[in-house]
A and B are shown apart, each in its own frame.
Chain A
Amino acid sequence: MMFTISTAFEDLAVCDAETIFALSSGHGRCGVAVVRVSGPASSMVLRNMAGLTQALPPPRTALLRRITDPQSKELLDRGLVLWFKGPHSFTGEDSAEFHIHGGPAVITAVLQALGSLEGVRPAEAGEFTRRAFHAGKLGLTEVEGLGDLIHAETEAQRRQALRQMDGELGRLYQDWSYRLKRCLAHVEAFIDFSEDELIEDGVLNQVDSSVRQLETEIERHLKDERRGERLRTGVQVVIAGATNAGKSSLLNTLCQRPAAIVSPIAGTTRDIVETSLDIGGFPVLLSDTAGLRDSSDSVEREGVRRARQRVEQADLTLVVVDSTQLPPDPQLVAAFLQEHLSTVLPSPEAGMTAASDRVLLVLNKSDLVPEEQRERTEGELRERPGLPPACFLSCSTSTGLEDFLTVLQSRVKTLCGDPLSGAPSLTQARHRAHLQQSVQALNQYHQYRDQDLALAAEGVRLALTHLGRITGRVGAEEILDIIFRDFCIGK
């Protein structure tokens, strides 16, 4: 039984002897943040970061310590530290907790300090839970729940990855991954085919210089701390819907300034308009998108494509509907909205369904609908299974704005409780760890290049595995694709 749970984590299969850490408390503005550490090196971590040169504190007792960077000895924060001796811990392993101040700068500094310790790395999604399961701390009956948890976490990671892969950083990683794949393919081609086919020795020399170049670039990147700042923070809220439903009016209402141009002409907004907001104390990045309709205008079509892409990456989507377009018979409204949502939202495979808690329906222009019809419709839609919550709102008169803001705020709050939404420092730390391991593995290539090409190739394979944890796994078939494309291989 012990082994089996690990099967669900094929990509995450890293040696359990490693020590992992993660921010366990929610992201957003909070007084105290909790960072958890689990694994055999936990006591070493505690000694190094909390200046405990002698004995460890008694288990499960809070101790106020100065928390310092293990390398520079620089003071990072003062906070509580706790020590849990295995098996009496959540994961069953030796564990430690750091209760530190909740500011992003402190959290980032502590996470980076942890990541700099040897044998310590950021946890993958669900990894604490997995270890708890391994240690027999979770029963089989809890596994069902674990499945759902992993689903939620991987879903959040997927969204975050989509977001990042869209940006400059994503392009950089993809480029490295592509070049590394080619290096591996060329080494493998040399191993598998050079005795029978025409593959020149020069191929390996090219790989030598490509690998060197990659090492230099990744190392330089690891030294350049500022790049991380380019990652956006905050919950991504996207306004989407048909043309002329009032999406831009909603954006303007929410940020109380005309950030987007509003006009009665359908299709006014063609690109994405973004604005940063503070909703209930949580950072929100609000985007307005082009109205979704089939258009012959190529600029507008591009806008629609971007809008759909943005919806797929969003943490929360506000679907704006023109209330005057609703069927007059309240009993038909639910079916109408259902149908409408299916055209706006991405396919259910993307993990997003109308019932998902990542969608809110905004029925705009409520002032243009007769009072009685509105009330009956509201009654009809209340607690409707399969439909997200719907709010009547008039952007021009601000009627219903308060109620809508209350719903929105509670949603944003829930989302911020998910430590994976908009926590770039955590992702950054994970990326750093994999990039570092990738560079180390590339060293093995040079080390064995002239003695044993099989071991040298193993170094490149390993480097690609680590990079693949950021950009996606690379299988043997993909390498063969490149080999057969770049070289003429016979039967």
Chain B
Amino acid sequence: MLAQKLHLLRHNVLSFVSSRTGSDLTRRQYDVIVVGGGHAGTEAAAAAARLGAETLLITQKIMTIGALSCNPSLGGVGKGQLVREVDALDGLCGRAGDSAGVHFSILNRSKGPAVWGPRAQLDRERYRQFIQSELLSTPRLTVLEGSVDELLVSQPNPEEPGHHRVTGIRLVDGSHPILSSSVVLTTGTFLSGSLFMGQTTSPGGRMGDAQSCAGLSYTLKETLGLRVGRLRTGTPPRIVKESVDLSLAQLQAPDKQPTPFSFLNTHTRCKPEEQLPCYLTHTTPGVERVVRESVHLNCHIQQDAKGPRYCPSIESRVLRFPGRRHQVWLEPEGLTSDLLYPQGLSMTMPPELQLRLLREIPALHRAEIRTPGYGVQYDFVCPTQLTPSLQVKSTQGLFLAGQINGTTGYEEAAAQGLWAGVNAGRTALSLPPMALSRTQSYIGVLIDDLVGRGVTEPYRMFTSRAEFRTYLRPDNADLRLTPRGFEEVGCVTLRRYKKAVSVRDGLQEALMALQSVALSSTRWREKLGNISLSENKSTTLNRKQCWTFRIEIYTVYRPHCEKQSREMERIRSEESLSLPSDMDYLSLPVSLSQEVREILDRVRPNTLGAATRLPGMTPAGIIHLLNYVLRTGRSEDTHEFKLN
């Protein structure tokens, strides 16, 4: 019965999907089960499999694995850094971007290499194809079409903290459970999701897809007792390209020479001359008028009383910043697509008003809508209930990644997915969990912010969130992460490792060569003319070296990074001292004020570092806590993923 309904795919090509049925669902037991086939789920499944875990990816529709459900682009300022880091740990999205990109540009080119934002407009079809073929050719990874009804849990392992232990899942279509050591949930907006357009509301996580996973919501909230919150997001209408008067918009050309995301690629699939342009246009007072006139017909925006600080929709933009011109980017959806994506025009008003609004913009005065925009409201699990390895504190073996943790964006989801997959795999293989330091990567900043502080609005990465921004650069993500990713984490393949090591050695050699030439500043001036120099004995660059570009960036930032190294050291040492998750703060036999006890009991910080960042925590409280943990040997042995 079950077998007939399941579509199973194992190490196979796409054309096989529909014909193949579940009759050869050979296993009922996996190391890792990943639920969801979006950006978080695909990275999680691939990472767990790379680690050596027998992995099952369950998704509602195999055909939508790797679909870009919102904007057709990847990267940007802050987000580009995440893509580079995911790539450095051998994730998928960087290479997928290089394969699917149709318009590459480095944002912030004039503002310093630390904040450059590699970005690409994508061909949706090519992106999906790349991800699917990559997953289907990944050893140890099985893909299954189905809907998860229930999470199976049992008594916890008494030697580890937690109240439950995950043992597998049960599908909607059958009573037969599939067992596993760990489960990664990446259900996106599908937890109690509801869709909004005008005055109509319908259950679901994405237009055109199946309804949300009610059974899973129930398990998380009722069985596991997890605290959830509610967030909202939205997507703009898709416009028929032919109906747009592009002569009235400003052409935005891509970079002449595309820069690949991946450290493995020297060029992108799309040739420089094949790239497609974007177009820039602006809102008019007419747009504002339509928004104001339609507020009473717009449920989503009416409920926006306590919305996020930023403006998630065009409605919130014009209501909060009236009388201004707002930018609208018209982005290509792919090489063969006949659609344009109007970035900046997320809206939830009734479809006929969406059309009226669009047509208030000169370039869109004859625009036709293919699919209207809509809003989504969904549950997220308050991420302070997770450890830095993205495991649910109360449930052994259960990991969460992506929008379910309150983030927004493909890159944020991919980054968490990769790290959750790594730790789900490690758990299944009886290896200790690992945390990424915020001194070492944007992924570390992202996870530390989530589990340490929680979210009140969809969390998005900005470079200003990273205190060591000048070190966490897009150019050095491979040096920061790849060697350790291979040597300690196990998520990096040998091929990539060898490449990173050769780059590292090459750079090292070139730097040594440069540093061997030391002259006084007077002599440098004689040779180079009157340029600004530090008064210490210094060296210069040999521009003939093949590593010129990377060395240049390195040398510009080096003095600054050295100044920060002590501060980084301090944060790393705080992060490495973990606090047991089952500590009874209310009755701890140390001198702590009731107020501090309550704060600790409520937040349950993972590390001493997280405890020091809690509002209301006192220096004296930290000392007492530290003293207790050290004296009683209660600090858990979390393996920090260190860096030299």
Q: Does B bind A?
A: yes
- A491→B326 contact, CB < 8 A: no
- B311→A453 contact, CB < 8 A: no
Name B462's contact: one of A6, A154, A192 (CB within 8 Å).
A192
Name B326's contact: one of A15, A458, A488 (CB within 8 Å).
A488
- Complex CA gap A196/B105 in Å reads 12
Name A154's contact: one of B464, B556, B618 (CB within 8 Å).
B618
B567: interface (CB < 8 Å): yes
- A453→B115 contact, CB < 8 A: yes
- A147→B556 contact, CB < 8 A: no
B577: interface (CB < 8 Å): yes
Mark the stretch among A59-67, A289-297, A422-430, A476-484 that contacts chain B.
Answer: A476-484
Among B463, B467, B590, B620, find the residue whose CB has the most chain A CB atoms closer than 10 A: B620
- Complex CA gap A452/B110 in Å reads 8
- B310→A491 contact, CB < 8 A: yes
- A4→B608 contact, CB < 8 A: yes
Quote the shortest CB–CB distance from B573 to chain A (angstroms): 4
- Residues of chain A contacted by B608 (CB below 8 angstroms): 4, 7
- Residues of chain A contacted by B591 (CB below 8 angstroms): 144, 147-148
Name A147's contact: one of B107, B117, B623 (CB within 8 Å).
B623
- Complex CA gap A491/B232 in Å reads 11
B612: interface (CB < 8 Å): yes
- A455→B560 contact, CB < 8 A: yes
Q: A192-B78, A452-B556 are in contact. Are A150 and B117 (CB under 8 A)?
A: no
Q: How large is the interface on B (under 10, 10 to 19, 20 to 34, 35 or more residues)?
A: 35 or more
Quote the shortest CB–CB distance from A411 to chain B (angstroms): 23
- B623→A5 contact, CB < 8 A: yes
- B619→A491 contact, CB < 8 A: no
A479 and chain B: residue at smallest CB distance: B464
- Complex CA gap A458/B346 in Å reads 34
A151: interface (CB < 8 Å): yes
- Residues of chain B contacted by A6 (CB below 8 angstroms): 570, 573
Q: A452-B111, A454-B115 are in contact. Are A490 and B312 (CB under 8 A)?
A: yes
- Complex CA gap A4/B571 in Å reads 10
- Residues of chain B contacted by A8 (CB below 8 angstroms): 612, 619-620, 622-623, 626
Q: How large is the interface on A (under 10, 10 to 19, 20 to 34, 35 or more residues)?
A: 35 or more
Quote the shortest CB–CB distance from A155 to chain B (angstroms): 9
- B612→A147 contact, CB < 8 A: no
- A151→B112 contact, CB < 8 A: no
- A454→B623 contact, CB < 8 A: no
- B107→A195 contact, CB < 8 A: yes
- Complex CA gap A452/B555 in Å reads 13
- A454→B469 contact, CB < 8 A: yes
- B619→A143 contact, CB < 8 A: no
- A192→B623 contact, CB < 8 A: no
Q: A192-B463, A454-B469, A480-B464 are in contact. Are A488 and B320 (CB under 8 A)?
A: yes
B250: interface (CB < 8 Å): no
B72: interface (CB < 8 Å): no
Quote the shortest CB–CB distance from B321 to chain A (angstroms): 4
- A454→B112 contact, CB < 8 A: yes
- Residues of chain B contacted by A455 (CB below 8 angstroms): 112, 114, 470, 556-557, 560
Among A140, A143, A479, find the residue whose CB has the most chain B CB atoms closer than 10 A: A143
- A147→B620 contact, CB < 8 A: yes
- A488→B317 contact, CB < 8 A: yes
- A191→B464 contact, CB < 8 A: yes
- Residues of chain B contacted by A198 (CB below 8 angstroms): 324-327
- Complex CA gap A296/B329 in Å reads 59
- Complex CA gap A476/B448 in Å reads 13
B623 and chain A: residue at smallest CB distance: A147
- Complex CA gap A140/B613 in Å reads 24
Between-chain CB contacts (< 8 Å), 11 pairs: A4-B630, A10-B612, A143-B627, A147-B591, A147-B624, A148-B620, A451-B112, A454-B113, A458-B469, A458-B560, A477-B453
A residues near B, CB below 8 A? 1, 3-10, 13, 15-16, 126, 140, 143-144, 146-148, 150-151, 154, 188, 190-198, 349, 448, 451-455, 458, 476-477, 479-481, 483-485, 488-491
B residues near A, CB below 8 A? 76-78, 107-108, 110-115, 117, 233-234, 309-313, 317, 320-321, 324-327, 329, 343-344, 346, 408, 453, 462-465, 467, 469-470, 556-557, 560, 566-567, 569-570, 573-574, 577, 590-591, 593, 595, 608-609, 612-613, 618-624, 626-627, 630-631
Additional A-B contacts beyond A10-B619, A453-B112, A479-B464 (16; CB < 8 A): A8-B620, A140-B631, A154-B618, A188-B464, A191-B111, A451-B112, A452-B114, A453-B115, A454-B463, A454-B469, A455-B557, A455-B560, A484-B309, A485-B309, A489-B310, A491-B233
